Amino acid sequence: MHRSSEVKHLASDFNTRACECFGQPPVQPFESHCPVLTDRTVRVQLKVLKVKDGSVFFIRVKPDRTGVVTDGVKHSMNPFCEIAVEEAVKLKEKKLVKEVVAVSCGPQQVQETIRTALAMGADRGIHVEVSGKDYETLGPLQVSKIFAALAKKEQADLIILGKQAIDDDCNQTGQMTAALLDWPQGTFASEVTLEADKLKVVREIDGGLETIKINLPAVVTADLRLNTPRYATLPNIMKAKKKKITNVKPADLGVDVSSRLEVLKVDEPPQRQSGVKVETVHDLVEKLKEAGRI
Amino acid sequence: LFFIYCCIERISWRLQKTKALLDHTNTLSLNLTELTDQQKEFQEVARKFAREEIVPAAPSYDKSGEYPFPLIKRAWELGLMNGHIPEDCGGMGLGIFDACLITEELAFGCTGVQTAIEANSLGQMPVIIAGNDAQKKKYLGRMTEEPLMCAYCVTEPGAGSDVAGIKTRAVKKGDEYVVNGQKMWITNGGKANWYFLLARTDPDPKCSASKAFTGFIVEADTPGVQPGRKELNMGQRCSDTRGITFEDVRIPKENVLIGEGAGFKIAMGAFDKTRPPVAAGATGLAQRALEEATKYALERKTFGKFIAEHQAVSFLLAEMAMKVELARMAYQRAAWEVDQGRRNTYYASIAKAYAGDIANQCATDAVQIFGGNGFNSEYPVEKLMRDAKIYQIYEGTAQIQRLIISREHLGKFKQ
């Protein structure tokens, strides 16, 4: 990896950021990962995640506490993935990349999300079929293995993913994919510029903004302020029907999707307790002392 | 009159049924529970646009009454407008079913914006069903090249439901028609680039309605066309509604649709295609009322419980839900019937009548659920109540719809 500067990363609460950005409670995992492979022939691998739609009001934990109820809950493309698609399509419009390929892993329904990516401007799609039990346990490690295998097979030059899924907030797939391929990575990108054969990435970090230059091929993960995703217009949706989506199985790529993680239990966050209003700073200090906080 | 109307319709429907329709609709069977992938995607775009862009902007447009051109332009860019325009004129040739799905979503955002957009479809429909190739290319083509508006000019101060009673006169003089008269309540009247105009060409009062009227396409900048002031209405206030005076307006004979005397049938024929979208708009408003009321009922507490937990309120919500679902099924049936190439007058009238009525009921119930807050302009539901009323009036009043339904029903019964 080529880095012109190094910055120490501070811990931050990505969960909160996701909430602030989208004004919705954190949604529970139900991912279908779709990295965007971009290539000078460009393959933009879209992490097209189907996450629960923001307008859903309540997420309920399943009675057996193994997860959340997903039946009948609407899923749509992960917002960070939309930003990734948009960036890829922008690069293609600037004629810096030749082809944008949208990839998604999951059951039949992810084809809808791939179609949305095609309607936004991707050239073709790859649907990696993972369904049933395998899909429920599909995590960043398995997905990044799939992406790495696909990147090699398709000879991608650039992989763009959303930085994290808003349902599980793992924030791992991009980094793992880069590690598996031994490629440089530009994560939390808020600006991406192609300079000759290097990629200049401005990254959002807790201390501010960090600018790095990395060699291609590389992995980039998209952060919120990278761009504003376009709507898929109705004429483009109709044109997207003619674009190809190829089906692939993880086994064809030599990837084992069995999970090494076991979910022990899933609980709702504790009910928010009401607060107490105090009159003076002195009262506040007293109360905090009473509660053993200071 | 009724019999003639029937016969002619069969011919004109055949002319309209294009390959595009078959591609776009659920062809062999009406599947109300599962839309096609493309329909879902269209609906998704419309929904996203409505909720993210129309909903936040609607209250200020309602207050100011300003024409929502930025929103209309955006809808045009996304392909949400002018869906009916045939593909050879640069449009998408969507069926009525798909158009209705989009309309319902837009109406959810703001029915004022949706009406401004829908008026385009109403104005274009006579040209789509009855225009010759030159007319279609000229007047429909320009709508796809830039975001222009058009209007349907039939109603007059003295004749609304009684279309046969319109008095605007068109007199043939050489290669032109000279038009004099007064139109009223024309949506997009002040913003249109061209109008579909219905005028009386046969002065003989004994002449039957099916032969006395002619349909024209009138360029809005023709000398003598004078739009009046923007009317201040109860609801859908951002939609531009005006009276229009025609004073010695000269229309070239090339702008006559089909021929002299064919106007009435064209004007009425347009309704079978535009009533389902209007019903869809009313359903969108009712859906909005239901969602706002539900959200509020799950937040507001009285007597120690969320008001949604009181049966009085939950029953109100249940009835609103019943009405919304049924209205949706009604407009979908009406839209599907016409997309199959069948005469859908019966279903279109039922859908429009029902949806208009329930939109008003749901909006009123939503205000009720909000209580005192509902009456206040800081909350979104009072606007819904004001906006809903017009759905029982325009595009055929609730009473006219009942006339049509009873006529169709009795006609079927007598066979």
The pLDDT tens digits of the residues spanning B338-385 come to 999 999 999 999 999 999 999 999 999 999 999 999 999 999 999 999
What residues contact A132, with CB distance under 8 A and at least 6 apart?
Answer: A107
Return the higher-pLDDT residue of A130 and B404: B404
pLDDT band for position A267 (cuts 50, 70, 90): confident
Nearest alpha carbon to residue A170 among A270, A20, A27, A290 = A27
Preferred mutation among A58, A231, A236, A243 to probe B, highest tally of B CBs within 10 A: A231
Residue tagged 């739009």 (tokens): B227
pLDDT of residue B182: 96
Alpha-carbon gap, residue A97 to A218, rounded angstroms: 14
Using CB atoms, which residue from A57, A111, A234 is nearest to B42? A234
Task: Please report residues of B whose CB lies closer than 8 A to that of A234.
Answer: 42, 45, 78-80, 83, 92, 102
Q: Name every chain A residue with its beta carbon within 8 A of the beta carbon of B39.
A: none
CA distance readout (Å), B64 to B60, B157, B237: 6, 26, 8
Cα-Cα-Cα-Cα dihedral sign, residues A13, A227, A213, A121: positive
Nearest to B51, CA basis, from B68, B34, B71: B71
CA distances from B31 to B26, B44, B336 (A): 7, 18, 10
Q: Across-strand partners of A51?
A: A76
- Contacting A residues, span 117-146, partner chain B, CB-CB under 8 Å: 119
Rounded CA-CA distance B359/B386 in Å is: 11
Is ipTM > 0.90 here? no
Give which of A238, A239, A245, A274 to mutate to test B binding, by max B Cβ within 10 Å.
A238
**What chain A residue is nearest to B299 in terms of C-alpha separation?**
A57
Asked if B48's CB is within 8 angstroms of A112's CB, the reply is no
Residues of B with CB under 8 A from a CB of A: 37-38, 40-42, 44-45, 48-49, 51, 77-80, 83, 92, 102, 295, 298
Please state the rounded mean pLDDT for residues A181-187: 93
Rounded Cα gap, residues B207 and B79, in angstroms: 43
Tokens of B173: 């003089």
* pLDDT for the residue numbered B23: 42
A67 vs B408 pLDDT, higher one: B408
The strand pairing partners of A219, in sequence order, are A159, A185
Quote the CA–CA distance of B104 and B117 in Å, as a whole number.
12
Phi-psi region of A42 (alpha: psi -120 to 50; beta: other; left: phi over 0): left
Q: How confident is the model at residue A5 (pLDDT cuts 50, 70, 90)?
A: very low
Cβ-based contacts of A241 with chain B (< 8 Å): 38
> Which residues in A lie closer than 8 A to residue B92 (C-beta atoms)?
234-235, 238
Report whether B142 contacts B68 (CB < 8 A): no
Banded pLDDT at A79 (limits 50, 70, 90): confident
Q: Which of B38, B51, B78 sits opposite A233 (nearest CB)?
A: B78
Token pair 């009795």 is found at: B410
Q: Residue ranges of chain B with pLDDT lower than 50?
A: 1-27
Helix (H) or strand (E) holding B7: helix B2-16
| pLDDT score recorded for residue B22 | 39
Spatial contact of B70 and B112, defined as CB atoms under 8 Å apart: no
pLDDT at A47 over 90: no
Separation of alpha carbons A5 and A201, rounded Å: 12
* pLDDT score recorded for residue B366: 98
Where would I find the beta strands (DSSP E) of A163-250?
A: 185-195, 198-205, 208-215, 218-222, 245-248
Distance CA B283, CA B359 (A): 6
Tell me the shortest Cα–Cα distance from B37 to chain A, in angstroms: 7
pLDDT reading at A190 higher than 70: yes
Residue A54: pLDDT band by 50, 70, 90 thresholds?
very low
Higher pLDDT, A81 or B27: A81
3-state secondary structure of B393: coil
The strand pairing partners of B179, in sequence order, are B170, B249
Q: Where are the beta strands (DSSP E) in B295-391?
A: 301-302, 305-306
> From the CA of A241, how many Å to the nearest CA of chain B?
8
Residue A27: pLDDT over 50 = no
Tokens describing residue B334: 């009406």
> What residues in B contact A237, CB-CB < 8 Å?
38, 41-42, 45, 79
Compute the count of residue pairs across chains A and B with CB atoms less than 8 Å apart.
42
Nearest CA in chain B to A242: B38
Selection from A162-171, A238-247, B308-317 with the highest mean pLDDT = B308-317
Beta-carbon neighbour count of residue B214 at 10 Å?
26
Q: Which residues contact A251 (CB under 8 A, 6 or more apart)?
A: none
B115 DSSP assignment: H
Radius of gyration of chain B (CA): 21
Alpha-carbon gap, residue B7 to A5, rounded angstroms:
80
User: Could you please report the per-residue DSSP string of B202-262?
Assistant: ---TTS-HHHHEEEEEEETTSTTEEEEEEP--SS-TTS-EEEEEEEEEEEEGGGBSSSTT-
- Give the residues across from B251 on adjacent strands: B177
pLDDT of residue A128 exceeding 60:
yes
**Which chain B residue is nearest to residue A234, measuring alpha carbons?**
B79
pLDDT top residue among B219 and A237: B219
Assigned token pair, B18: 């294009």
Whole-angstrom Cα distance, residue A238 to residue A242?
8
**pLDDT confidence bin for A64, thresholds 50/70/90:** confident
Residue A32: band (very low, low, confident or very high) from pLDDT cuts 50, 70, 90? very low
Q: Are B80 and B51 in contact (CB under 8 A)?
A: no
Q: Inform me whether the C-beta atom of residue A235 falls under 8 Å from chain B C-beta atoms.
A: yes
B386 is in an annotated binding site: no
Which of chain B's residues have a Cβ under 8 Å away from the Cβ of A117?
Answer: none
Q: Is position B207 annotated in a ligand binding site? A: no
Residue A9 pLDDT greater than 50, yes or no? no
Confidence at residue A58, expressed as pLDDT on a 0 to 100 scale: 59
Q: Is the pLDDT of residue A113 over 50?
A: yes
The pLDDT confidence band at residue A60, using thresholds 50, 70 and 90, is confident
In sequence order, the β-bridge partners of residue B379 are: none
Section A164-187 average pLDDT? 89
Q: Which two tokens stand for residue B119?
A: 């008026």
Per-residue confidence band for A273, with pLDDT thresholds at 50, 70 and 90: confident
Residue type at position B12? S
Residue A107 has pLDDT above 90, yes or no: no
**Residue among B323, B285, B324, B301 at smallest CA distance from B371:** B301
SS3 per-residue string spanning A101-166: EEEEEECCCHHHHHHHHHHHCCCEEEEEECCCHHHHCCCHHHHHHHHHHHHHHHCCCEEEEECCCC
A275-282 mean pLDDT? 87
| Amino acid A22: pLDDT | 31
Q: A156 CB contacts (<8 Å, ≥6 apart)? A: A37, A38, A39, A42, A43, A45, A101, A150, A217
CA atoms within 13 A on the CB side of B150: 27
Catalytic residues of B: 395
**Site from A111, A237, A243, A274 to mutate, B interface, most B CB atoms within 10 angstroms:** A237
**Cross-strand bridge partners of residue A208:** A205
Are A150 and A267 within 8 A, CB to CB? Answer: no
Q: What is the mean pLDDT of residues A99-112?
A: 88
How far away is chain A from the Cα of B80, in angstroms, using its nearest Cα? 7
Residue labelled with tokens 């109540």: B385
Whether residue B41 and residue A112 make contact (CB cut-off 8 A), yes or no, is yes
